Structures are given as C-alpha cells and as structure tokens.
Structure 1
Amino acid sequence: MPELAEKILLFTDSVIRRMTRISEEYHAVNLSQGFPDFSPPQEILDRLSEVAQKGPHQYGLTWGAENFRKALSEYHYCFTKQRIDPEKEIVVTCGSTEAMMAAVMTVTNPGDKVIVFSPFYENYGADTILSGADPIYVPLYPPLFDFNYEELEKAFKKRPKALILCNPSNPCGKVFTKEELEYIAFLAKKYDTFVITDEVYEHIVYKPYVHTYFSTLPGMYERTLTCGSLSKTYSITGWRLGYIIAPPAIINGAKQIHDFLTVAAPSPLQEAAIVGLKFGKSYYDDLLSMYTHKRTIMMDGLDTLGISHTNPQGAYYILLDISEYGFDNDLEFCELLARDIGVGAVPGSSFFKEPVYNLIRLHFAKNDETLYEALNRLEKMKKIIKKRK
C-alpha cells in the first residue's frame, strides 16, 4: 500500500472536538467546545419554520444568496461604516472554519510563510499546513497576552505572505488595542503582507475594552481578508454560516477556492438568518450584557473556589491554571476532570506552540444553571484530582 500524505503527520485531530466526545462519554458538563445550550433568537427560529415549508431547499448561488449578501453588506456597514459591494466583495462560506481555510488558500502558495500568534485557535496551524505554507509562531505573553514588538518584526523579516489575527482572541480572550493593531498594520505595509482576520467574537467585548475592525485602519482594507460568522452572534453554531469580506480581486480568487471546497453554504439557513442580520443595536447590547453576566458568574465562582484563572477581555473563554496539581500532561488532567469531576475542558497545550501544560480552557456560553452546576462540580476538583494523582 502507498503511504498517506506526510502533512497529516504534522497535526492531530481536533482536541476540542475530542474533548466533547470525552465529555459525552462521562456525562460531563461540556465546557470544552464553545457552543451554547440555549436557543437562538426566536425571530430567527420563526423564520426558519417558514423557510422549512417554502424553501429554498436546493443549491444556492455559489458565493451566497443575493439577499443574504445584501443584508450582510448592510450589517457590515452598521459596525464599520465601510460600504461593501455585495456582488464583488463578499463570499458566503460554510462557517468561519471554511472562510479561514479558503482565505489562507487564496493568498498563499506552497512554501510561503504565515504568521500565527500563539496561543491560537487550533485550526490556524492546520489551515496553514494544509495550504502548503509554513507557520511562524509569535508568542502572546500572559497575563494580558501582549506581544513583543521586536519579536513580531523579526517574524515579518522572514517575509511572510500573510498574518492571521484572531480578535477577540480564542482561547485567551485578548482584545488587541488600537495601538497594537496599528503596529501590525505598519508592518503589513512595510513588508507587503496580507492580514487574515477572524472576528467572530466581534460583539463580545467587555468594558472598558473596545473592538477595532482591522480593515478600517488606514490602508488596510486593500490587504485584509475579514473572516466572520453568524455562529456566535446568533447562537447558531450548527448552521455553518460564515463569510469573507475583501476587495474584488481577492474575493474573485476566494470564490474559486470556495466553489471547489463546498460549492455553497446551506440555502435555507441563509434565508432564515437574514432576519438576524437586520436586528437593531439593542440586540447586540443585550448580547454583550448577557455574556458579561455569564463571565461574572464564572470568574466570581472560580475566585470563591480559589482557582486561579485569566480575566478575558472578549469572547467567552477562560483559562484555568492547573500548576498546583503537578501534571506534566494537561490532556490527562482534562480526561480526569471529565471522568472524576464531571466537567469538560480543553488542554491548553492544544493552543500553544510553546510547551505550555499548566493551562486548561473552559467556556461560559451556557445557561446560568449549567455554569452553576459546573462550578459546584469544580468545588471537588482539588480534593479528588490531587488524590487521583
């Protein structure tokens, strides 16, 4: 038998999705994979019921239904004040997962280099490798997860084709400051580099932090591929609706890549989601208020239990420090946590290029009752896991 492709040896399966399977096996509260256990907005569900009867149910236009792209264009303008041509500057994808993959494939050739901040969402390294490019990892330093300006320019001096920017960041919840983003923009122009942004948590930014859309910085729209998603904003992670926004020359290439990756995003779900894209400002204010409340539940609960943790500036993830337990293998710790405590988490090492084994990631996109139950179970963590160890 011939050998399989060498590139599959360069990364594992998704550790996040693996931990969901382990959580289900042990009936643990799943705070590993970041999806809600509450319903999407009722208006979207009502519209979905109508679409289920009336359609569309067949293939849609490859790069997105016309009315969906128009609604997405208006939505984008509301928050960025950028006028986007829905015909030439948007391609609708099967979730932001495909958007990121298509974006990387659109701008890189085999052998090109791509800068990735570490910690990073696990797909970024895999996307780069699958595209035939080589990742250059630049560390973000806790507790605020800032980057070193000299280290970043050193990476740019290797002449990367692109930089991937997740803002707000998964898994550490960092919200990049405008000053940091302007420095990235300066280097992108200086070294002629594309910037691929993942902004799926754009509306989950906790006060006093402020989200800056990278493409709105002077001279950046021309070299930015903005990847977005409806998953987190409307609590529809299973609908797989994402998009890329970029100048026409880039979108033309992205359309070709997307066409042969997935053909088209689900047409009935695009139709149903349009109502969400037309929500007013109050919806997004309420969304932030809800997640601010859930963040407070999680942080206060962990403080009461004496469990050290990060203070997320955005998104809905929190990192716990497990140094005191003496584990060299954080995956082993997470498996014990699911089995013996009944809480699902993700080992931090799956997000870091550096050898980091003292952090695990939890998320708080859950009903309050679910979060309180998880905290009640975590109360036993120190006694039981130290005993098992």
Structure 2
Amino acid sequence: MKLSRRSGTIEQSHIRSMTGACNAVGGINMAQGVCDLPVPSEVIEGAKWAMDQGINIYTPTEGLPRLREAIAAKMKRFYGVDVLPEQVLVSDGATGAFYTACLSLLEPGDEVMLFEPYYGYHRSTLTSIGAVPTFVRLEAPEWTLDMEALQAALTPKTRAMVICNPANPSGKVYTREELESIGAFAEKHDLIVFSDEMYEHFLYDGAAHVPALSVPGLKERCVTMSGFSKVFSVTGWRLGYAIAPLHVIEAMAQFNDLIYVCAPAPLQIGAAVGLERLGDGYYAELSQVHQHKRDLFCAALRDAGLSPSVPRGAYYIMTDVSGVNGSDDFEKAMAILEKTGVASVPGRAFYHDDAGKNMVRFCYSKPLEVLQEAAERIRKLR
C-alpha cells in the first residue's frame, strides 16, 4: 500500500530512539521526560473511587464538569486568573489539546513561529496538518528573547506562535516583560499564541510562572495547554487540557470527539481530586526537590568537563558536549551512552538546522538514588 504524503512528515522521535538504545544496554534513561516519581495518593485514590462508583463510561468530550471546574479554580488559586469551566477542554494529554487547537485554528500553509530549541512534538504536530513552522533562535545559556529576531521571522503568512513556558528543553522561564512584549507583538500582527505551560509548577531560584492568560493582549488570542503528566507523575494516563475563548473550545471539542472521543473517565476524577486536595506545600516541595536534583546533576556535568545551561524551570538540562568524541550530536550522545550507560537526547531533536550539533539534553526527574548513580557515571567522562 502506498503511504500518504502526510506520513512522510513524521519521523521517529529522537527521544524514543535514544530510549531504545538505552534499553538495549540496560542504561539509565535520562532521554525521555518520564517523571517516574511516586503518584500522590490523593490522585490514585480518587481514580480508584471513581472506578468503584462506576464512572467508567464515556464522558462529555469536553471533560467531566468536576475536572473542568477544578482546573478553572486552580487558575484562580495560583494566578488570580478568572476562567469559566466552559472555557476548559480536557483531552488526551496536552499533545491532544494542542492537536485539536491546531486543527481548529490553522489552515494548511499557515506559518507558525517556534522558539528554538523547541519541543519536537510541537513541530511535528504543525507539519502533520500542513502548517509551516518558522524559527526564532534563543541563544544559550540565557535563552533571552530577541524581539528583533521575532520581527525578522514575521511574514504575511505568519498566523501564530508557540511558546513553551517553562520551556522544554531549555528550562527557560519567560518573564512578565517578555510575555507582555509577545502579547503586544501578537496583538499588532493579529497572531494566535499557543502557550504550553505543562511545567508551570517546576520553578527554581525564586522564578515565578506568569500564565499567558494573565497578560494583556493575550487573553483573547491565546490557547493555553497544560496537564497532569508531570505534576502528578502520571505520564501514562494521557490527561491534559486547554483553556481558550469559548468559541475556540467549542470548535476544538468537535475534533476532540472525532479523534479521542473523551479522556479516560475515572482518571479525570483522580486528577480533579488531586487539584482539590493537594495543598500549596505539595507544589513547593515539587520545586524544592527538583532544584536539588538539578544542582546535583549540573555539578556532575561540570565535573565531567561539560557545560550545562542551568535551567530555571522544567526538568531538563541542555548541555554543551563539544569536548566529547564524535562528529555530531548523535555520535556524542551515543559516546556518552556507551561510556557511562546514561542516555541523553541529541541536540538535533530541538533545532531545525545543525545548531544543536554540540548539544544534548538530559532529563533529571528521576528517583534520587537513580540520579545519584547517573551523576557518578557521568563523572567518568572526565
């Protein structure tokens, strides 16, 4: 059978390929963003209770009212942002929310700006529907937004931009001033802003998360995506959501119904219970624990003679590996794996050109004893 042209736009994720290489040698997988930490008991018990109560059938495609209300309450609780539950769509992961948003708002040929290093699924989603990614470079180690570069990337076909805040893979946390500049730019040029805020609770060194919905100029032209995979350590539950103007949510719901029907019913209750019952201390500890892990692994990378860009958010470290043997990022990542048994992602996964040829990404959201072992192994590169 002849494959469609669309199928040729998607290639295997470099993250998955490195995961396979890691499994083949029985290594420590710091390539894939799998937060393999304990799931809060409130979340597990909430899902079990839902199953026992018979909440196991289709839900409204927009999501169960209890979860939509809990998400709206969360936005008020943490950020003082008023959101109607009707403005929330629950989907199969934030990736599902982004896909349905793109189908609802973009036409084939529309150009969409990505800030690179970018998250590969954002680019793949855009190309799969016929949109055209364009790129605005943020330079290591500070990843500062250059508004002149943003202006230079604008064309008459530009329809939208994607921001990831805090950013995967760089760990950049956008300041309010940067987001206000983006908002003014988007308003001036009538652009949509897709804001992926999956790592909103992973913040370090006193950084604060500024949701796009809190920024003038963005609220009416923004689709916010987030979810529960990372914050509750349930990546396999595939549970995320979008917040957008009501007419956009209504359009997204049609595609959500077509593609996914609905998110898993009892798991929605588990997430709702987590939002309702977990106190501020849970989220504060999440940041404190991950900051300790960040510092631990960054120190190991420096001891190994590498140059990490210290993240202010999320749980990834982009690292300069110029001193590692190999002609490019893939060979360098494989050399690290072969010598230490620690898997990383080649920098090419996050750039449209060869800018990542001397970079790899490590994910440090691992149990502490596993991370300590990985740190000792990485030091062997010296």
Structure 1 residues 325 and 337: CA distance shift in structure 2, 3 A: closer
Residues 270-291 of structure 1 deviation map (CA, whole Å, 9 limit, x = unaligned): 1122111112222211111111
Q: Look up the SS of the partner of 1:318 in the other structure.
A: strand
**1:50 has 2:71 as partner:** no
Q: Look up the SS of the partner of 2:224 in the other structure.
A: strand
Residues 181-219 of structure 1 deviation map (CA, whole Å, 9 limit, x = unaligned): 111111100100000000000011112322211111113
Alignment of 1:311-322 (within 5 A): 311-322=310-321
Give 1:163 deviation, angstroms: 0.6
**Structure 1 equivalent of residue 348 of structure 2:** 349
Alignment of 1:72-87 (within 5 A): 72-86=71-85
**Structure 2 equivalent of residue 299 of structure 1:** 298
Q: How many positions carry a matched residue from both structures?
A: 380
In 2, are the aligned partners of 1:348 and 1:359 still within 8 Å (CA)? yes
Alignment of 1:303-382 (within 5 A): 303-355=302-354, 356-382=356-382
**Structure 2 equivalent of residue 181 of structure 1:** 179
TM-score, scaled relative to structure 2: 0.95
Pick one of 263, 266, 290 that aligns with 2:261. 263
**Structure 1 equivalent of residue 207 of structure 2:** 209
In 1, are the aligned partners of 2:9 and 2:128 still within 8 Å (CA)? no
Q: C-alpha distance in 2, partners of 1:375/1:285? A: 24
Q: C-alpha distance in 2, partners of 1:342/1:325? A: 15
Q: C-alpha distance in 2, partners of 1:265/1:62? A: 7
Residues 226-279 of structure 1 deviation map (CA, whole Å, 9 limit, x = unaligned): 001111111111111100101111111111121111110000101122111112
Q: C-alpha distance in 1, partners of 2:149/2:37? A: 42
Give 1:326 deviation, angstroms: 4.3
Structural RMSD (CA): 1.5
In 1, are the aligned partners of 2:48 and 2:266 still within 8 Å (CA)? no
**Structure 2 equivalent of residue 387 of structure 1:** none
**Structure 1 equivalent of residue 31 of structure 2:** 32
Q: C-alpha distance in 1, partners of 2:296/2:368? A: 8
> Partner amino acid for 1:24?
N
**Unmatched segments (≥5 aa) in structure 2:** none
**1:62 has 2:52 as partner:** no
Q: Look up the SS of the partner of 2:307 in the other structure.
A: coil
**Unmatched segments (≥5 aa) in structure 1:** 383-389
Give 1:381 deviation, angstroms: 2.5
> Partner amino acid for 1:377?
R
Q: Look up the SS of the partner of 1:184 in the other structure.
A: helix
TM-score, scaled relative to structure 1: 0.94
Alignment of 1:104-183 (within 5 A): 104-183=102-181
Q: Look up the SS of the partner of 2:309 in the other structure.
A: coil
Q: Look up the SS of the partner of 1:115 in the other structure.
A: strand
Residues 154-189 of structure 1 deviation map (CA, whole Å, 9 limit, x = unaligned): 223434111101011100101112221111111100
Alignment of 1:262-281 (within 5 A): 262-278=260-276, 279-281=278-280
Q: C-alpha distance in 2, partners of 1:48/1:257? A: 26
Q: Which is further off, 250-259 or 323-332?
A: 323-332
**Structure 2 equivalent of residue 41 of structure 1:** 40
Q: Percent of counterpart pairs with the same letter?
A: 35
In 1, are the aligned partners of 2:111 and 2:160 still within 8 Å (CA)? yes
> Partner amino acid for 2:60?
L
Q: Which is further off, 164-173 or 64-73?
A: 64-73
**Structure 1 equivalent of residue 250 of structure 2:** 252
In 2, are the aligned partners of 1:116 and 1:137 still within 8 Å (CA)? yes
Q: Look up the SS of the partner of 2:68 in the other structure.
A: helix
> Partner amino acid for 1:375?
A
In 2, are the aligned partners of 1:28 and 1:339 still within 8 Å (CA)? no
In 1, are the aligned partners of 2:88 and 2:249 still within 8 Å (CA)? yes
**Structure 1 equivalent of residue 240 of structure 2:** 242
Q: Look up the SS of the partner of 2:369 in the other structure.
A: helix
Give 1:340 deviation, angstroms: 3.7
Q: C-alpha distance in 2, partners of 1:46/1:263? A: 25
**1:91 has 2:89 as partner:** yes
Q: Look up the SS of the partner of 1:325 in the other structure.
A: coil
Q: C-alpha distance in 1, partners of 2:122/2:348? A: 14
Q: Which is further off, 178-187 or 194-203?
A: 178-187
Q: C-alpha distance in 2, partners of 1:9/1:328? A: 27
Q: C-alpha distance in 2, partners of 1:172/1:158? A: 29
Q: Look up the SS of the partner of 1:163 in the other structure.
A: strand
Residues 73-116 of structure 1 deviation map (CA, whole Å, 9 limit, x = unaligned): 11121122222221x21110000111111112211011111111
